[in-house]
Amino acid sequence: MPHPTPPIVVQLTPPGRGAVATLLVEGVGAVAAVQALFRAAGARLLGEFPAGRLVFGRFGSDPGEEVVVRVRSGEAVEVHCHAGQAAPAMVRGLLVEEGCRGVTWQERTAAAETDPLRAAALIALADARTERTAAILLDQYYGALRRAIRAIRQSIERQDTAAAKGEIDTLLARADVGLHLVQPWRIVVAGPPNVGKSSLINALVGYPRAIVDARAGTTRDVVSASTAMDGWPVELSDTAGLRRTDEPLEQAGVELARQKLLAADRVILVFDASRPWTRDEDALVAEWPSAVIVHNKIDLVSSGGVLGSGRPAGTATSALVGDGIESLLGRIAGRLVPEPPPQGVAVPFLATQCHCLREVVLALVRGNPSVGAELLDRFGGYMATQ
């Protein structure tokens, strides 16, 4: 005879600080597993209480952890304990020793949902940082991506390869947005020393996060701050000033800054509007031609500063007094997402989904529509890793 599947134990509340943590024991034998470790305050067995009753007691060996237990049904029991790390880990560990199988809430969600695309969207939704990105993931949860995949499949069945490829191209055009619904856009702020990069980041995020100092070369390490621009999550990184230097510590900071620039999704180059434009600054702009250009410290220009000619077009700001910050925020957001997806449209949101779509296109180009159709039939399974 096959062995019965053991009940699972999963923590439903997020880890970290809080008043109460909730674990769910679910499956055949759930009540028995909890009852073996739980001592109700009134000395009655857990199975003797009616379903839905909150029962106070202790869990584990004497003196035990104070818990509140609620039997949902014969195959589901909630255990509520102190939050944090230690108490939930102890309760979970004892239940695993008792024969339960520990799973993550993501694994339980994936197993419970009949449509893996819905499960993937729900799992991603938990990490959405803004209302705007959550709304796009909700569209996928309610079937937008599934309907798009079904339409592509139907185009292949009609042997309309051109239509199928066009529909996939439309989806892949939204992939950059989809892949940043949970993971923030990485934006690196760079430029010569002492041009106000740190002050500009503080102005953009709305609170002091980066180190501000009048001395050139103050920022040696990369300092990051998270925020949102027009509803898109971003991580802004403040870097060491880019200049030639013989000072070893500053050289290390400049090298770290360049590494961060190479890994960035977008680059902001900041220059001092009160200083004359130089060949080194021309070279920096040429090195990063797609960067957003910012001419900071215009408050000094209005009081007899330089600004002058020879500068490339850019946004004039004063991080000190806030001039131009709203305009810069809008400009950056426009660079991140030039064409935001309309409400209700399909957006692939996992790297594996995008990979699958590209494989379908490759199969169609090679004249293997049956392979493309088979890949689409398995599309929902492309959700486990990013």
Which CATH number is 186-336's, of 3.40.190.10, 3.40.50.460, 3.40.50.300, 3.30.56.10? 3.40.50.300
For residue 179, what are its two tokens? 């892949």
- Label residue 304 by pLDDT band (50, 70, 90): low
pLDDT value of residue 310: 81
Q: What's the pLDDT tens digit per position in 226-243?
A: 899 999 999 998 876 555
Considering the chain, tell me which residue range(s) the CATH 3.40.50.300 domain(s) occupy: 186-336
The CATH fold assigned to 8-103 is Gyrase A; domain 2 (3.30.1360)
The tokens 């850019």 sit on which residue? 314
- Residue scoring higher pLDDT (321 or 257): 321
Q: What's the pLDDT tens digit per position in 331-365?
A: 999 999 999 999 999 999 999 999 999 999 999 99
CA 177 to chain centre: 12
For residue 84, what are its two tokens? 């944090």
Handedness of CA 87, 91, 96, 98 (dihedral sign): positive
Query: Which residues 6+ apart lie within 8 Å of 6 measured at CB?
Result: 27, 29, 99, 100, 101
pLDDT value of residue 255: 62
- Residue scoring higher pLDDT (219 or 205): 205
pLDDT value of residue 42: 81
Please list the residues that pair with 20 across neighbouring strands: 82
Query: Looking at the predicted structure, is the pLDDT value of residue 383 above 90?
Result: no
- For residues 213-249, one letter each, b for 16 or more C-beta atoms within 10 angstroms of the residue's C-beta and e for the rest, the string is eeeebbbbeebbbebbbebbbbbbbbbbbbeebeeee
Contact at 8 Å (CB) between 234 and 224?
Answer: no
Contact at 8 Å (CB) between 71 and 49?
Answer: yes
Q: What's the pLDDT tens digit per position in 253-276?
A: 556 666 777 888 999 999 999 988
Rounded Cα distance between 60 and 64, Å, is: 5
Q: What's the pLDDT tens digit per position in 160-185?
A: 999 999 999 999 999 999 999 999 99
Burial class (CB in 10 A: 0-12, 13-18, 19+), 71: buried
pLDDT value of residue 219: 44
Beta sheet of 292-296, edge-to-edge order:
223-229, 232-238, 185-190, 266-272, 292-296, 315-316
Considering the chain, tell me which residue range(s) the CATH 3.30.1360.120 domain(s) occupy: 8-103
